[in-house]
Chain A
C-alpha cells in the first residue's frame, strides 16, 4: 500500500511538472514564505492519542504559487517537511519521512493540478488549491492511520464540523492575505500573518487540552470502577468497541458513534456505589440484593450528570437496562421511549457478559454462537430486533 502511495505521489508530481513547469522564480519572496512556513511547521499541535500532528504552514506554502507556479509550491512543501523533520526532536525520522513525504507530495500535486486546470480569479484558484490540499491530506492521513492500525478514540477536536469549518476559514483567509500581499508587492506583511495563525494554534490547542482533560476524567472513572469492582480490563473496552461498531452500522454519524463508545465504556459507572460482594456473588441474588444492584443505572446517571460534558450520554446510561416489553428498570420504559444508544449498549453488554473471555465465577462462558442465539431468542422482548441484527452483522463482519 505504501508502495502504491509512493507511485501515486511520483505520478502526480510528474503530471504537475509536465503541465506547469517552473517559470521565473521570485527568490526573495520564496525565501520569506519558506521561512514563515518552517516556523509554523516547527510549532505543531500534537494530537498524541491519534498520533497526528496539526501544523499550520499551508497558507505560506500556498503563497509559493505566486513565486513560480504550483511545482515550486510542491518543492517548497518537501523542503519544509525535510527541514522540520531534521530540526524537530524525536526519533524515527526516516520512518516519519517515509510516511509523510508521499502524503505531502500527493496532496500538493492534487492542489497544484487543480490550480493549473482552473481558470478565473486568482483568489478562487488559491481557494481551490487550499481546499484540495486539505481534503486529500486529511483523507490520506486518516487512511494511513487506518492501515497502520492506529486507534482513533477520544479526542473530537478535529472531528467536529464547526471546528473544521473554523480552521478552514482561518486558513483560507490567511492564505488570501498572503496572496494579496505578494501581488501588491508588500512582502513585509507576510511575516505578520504568523500572528493570526499563532492565535488559531492557541485556540486549537486549548480546545485539545479540554478534550484531553475530559478523556482522562473518563479514564480515571473507569479506573475507579475497576478498583471498586475488579472487572477484567477487557470487558469495558470490548463493550465500547462493539457499541461503536454497531452504532455505525445503525447509521449514527462517526462523532455520535464515538460518543456511544464512551458511553458504553462508562455504562456501569454507577456500580462504584454498589456492594461489590453482591455483584460478585456466585449464587442467585435475593430480592433485596437485586433491588440494590438495580440502582446502579440511576447512580451512574447521577454521577455523570454533574458535568455538562456528559449531558448527552446521561439518559443512555440511565436506560441501559430497560427492556422493550417494559419489564426493565429503572423506569419500565417501552420500546419507543428507550434511546437507541441504550439499546445498543444493552445488547453489547449482554453479549460480552455471556461470551466474553473472562470466566465469571457463576457460570461457564458460552461460545459466541450460543450467545448470539441467546440474543436472537430475547430480541423483541428484551432487545430491539434491529439492534440485534446490526450487532450480529458487526460480529460476523468484524471477525
Chain B
C-alpha cells in the first residue's frame, strides 16, 4: 500500500479512538449533568410555588440515593429513584395557590386535605404525558399508598425518605426517627427503614 493509504487508514483509526473516548467518557458525564440540572428546574418551580418546601426536594433526593446505595440497588435504578424523588411533587402546581400559601396546613378542612392529597396522582398523570418520564409514574403514584407486595422498591424508599425529611423539618430528627421505628412494618418496608437508619448520620453532609 502507498503512503497515502497508510495515512488515510491511520486517520480513520485515530478518529475512531477519539469518537470512542467521546462516547465513553465525555457524553455520559454531560448527559448525567444535563439530566440532573433539568430535574432541578422542576424542583425550583415547585419550591417557588410552595415556599415552605425550600430545600426539601434536594434533601429527599439525597437521602433516597443514600438508602438505595445502602440497599445495593443497581446504578440504573438509582438514577430512576432520583428522578422520581425529584419529580414526585410537580403535581403541587395544580393545588390552589391560596391553600398552600395563605393557610396553615393545620387548619385545613377535610375537603381541602383531600384536594392536597390528590397532588401525587396529578404528578403521575402529568408524567404520563411525557414519553421519557412515563416510567416514573407508577413509582410516584404508589409512594403514598399502603404497603403491599406490588409496591415498587423505589416507592418504598421515597415514602420513607419523604416522611423522615418532612418530620425532621417540622419536629426535629429525634421525633422523625421514632416515627420511622413506630411505622416500620405498617406504613414502611422494614428493610428500607433499617437502611435509612443506617445511612442517616451521613445525611447531614452531601452523600454523593
Q: Are A273 and B45 in contact (CB under 8 A)?
A: yes
Which of B15-23, B64-72, B108-116, B161-169 is found at the contact surface with chain A? B15-23
Q: A180-B5, A203-B22, A272-B48 are in contact. Are A307 and B97 (CB under 8 A)?
A: no
**In chain A, residues 203-236, which have Cβ atoms closer than 8 Å to a Cβ of chain B?**
203, 206-207, 209-210, 212-214, 216-217, 219-221, 223-225, 227-228
Residues of B within 8 Å of A195, CB to CB, are 16
Q: Are A202 and B23 in contact (CB under 8 A)?
A: yes
Please count the residue pairs between chain A and chain B whose beta carbons lie under 8 angstroms apart in the complex. 139
Main secondary structure of the interface of A (DSSP, over half): helix
Separation of A176 and B30 alpha carbons in the complex (Å): 31
Q: Are B23 and A213 in contact (CB under 8 A)?
A: no
Residues of A within 8 Å of B15, CB to CB, are 170, 173, 196
In the complex, how many angstroms separate the beta carbon of B54 from the nearest chain A beta carbon? 12
Which of B73-81, B88-96, B141-149, B186-194 is found at the contact surface with chain A? B88-96
Which residue, of B4, B35, B45, B90, has the highest number of chain A Cβ atoms within 10 A? Answer: B45
In the complex, how many angstroms separate the beta carbon of A215 from the nearest chain B beta carbon? 9
Tell me the nearest residue of chain B to A121, going by C-beta.
B4
Q: Are B97 and A274 in contact (CB under 8 A)?
A: yes
> What number of B residues sit within 8 Å (CB to CB) of A?
47
Residues of A within 8 Å of B178, CB to CB, are none
Q: Which of B28, B48, B91, B130 contacts A302 (CB 8 A)?
A: B48
In the complex, how many angstroms separate the beta carbon of A265 from the nearest chain B beta carbon? 14
Q: Are B126 and A276 in contact (CB under 8 A)?
A: no
Which of B36-44, B150-158, B195-203 is found at the contact surface with chain A? B36-44
B98 at interface, CB cutoff 8 A = yes
A308 at interface, CB cutoff 8 A = yes
Q: Are A180 and B34 in contact (CB under 8 A)?
A: no
Q: Are B41 and A227 in contact (CB under 8 A)?
A: no
Q: Mark B169-187, 1 if CB is under 8 A from A, else 0.
A: 0000000000000000000
Residues of B within 8 Å of A174, CB to CB, are 12
Q: Are B97 and A277 in contact (CB under 8 A)?
A: yes
Residues of B within 8 Å of A307, CB to CB, are 34, 37-38, 40-41
A-B contact pairs, 28 of them (CB 8 A): A170-B15, A173-B11, A177-B8, A177-B12, A180-B8, A189-B9, A196-B16, A200-B19, A203-B23, A207-B27, A213-B34, A213-B35, A216-B133, A220-B129, A221-B42, A223-B126, A223-B129, A223-B130, A224-B45, A227-B91, A228-B97, A270-B48, A272-B49, A273-B49, A277-B98, A306-B43, A307-B40, A309-B38
Ranked 3 nearest A-B pairs via Cβ: A273-B48, A199-B19, A307-B37
